[in-house]
Amino acid sequence: MHFVVYARRGDSQGSVIASLIRSLLSSHMLAGQVQLVDDPELLRMNYVEATPTVMLDGSVISSGWNPTRSELEMAIERRSRALALSSSVFGNQGEVRR
């Protein structure tokens, strides 16, 4: 899982959100990356208009408001289920049946 938290430079909310995501990943014993982006040029290049914006694997979780703990937990659980389902569907490729 790859989270990106877009925030304005100097805004402490971005750091708080990133810390919350890290603790949720740890409590669910999941591996993941959390990237905090506060460079105005990168915000503009990624078409981020509202901050804070939180994305998980390219999908927007929240834009313009601080996501709640339960919103982040639901996003993590949905993504975990999707990853588990895709690995069970595509996990048997390459095996030879006899």
pLDDT tens for 24-69 read 999 989 889 999 999 999 999 999 999 999 999 999 999 999 999 9
Instruction: Look up the CATH superfamily of 2-90.
Output: Glutaredoxin (3.40.30.10)
HSE of 48 in the Cβ direction (CA atoms, 13 Å)? 27
Domain map of the chain by residue range?
2-90
How many residues in total does the chain contain? 98
| Contact status, residue 57 vs residue 79, Cβ threshold 8 Å | yes
Q: Write out pLDDT tens, residues 71-83.
A: 999 999 999 888 8
Q: Which of 93, 60, 65, 94 is nearest to 75 (CA)?
A: 60
Enumerate residues 6+ apart whose C-beta is below 8 A from 52.
5, 6, 7, 11, 13, 14, 17, 62, 64, 65, 66
User: Pairing state of beta strands 53-56 and 33-37?
Assistant: unpaired
Please tell me the pTM assigned to this model. 0.81
Query: What local confidence, expressed as pLDDT, does residue 84 receive?
Result: 84
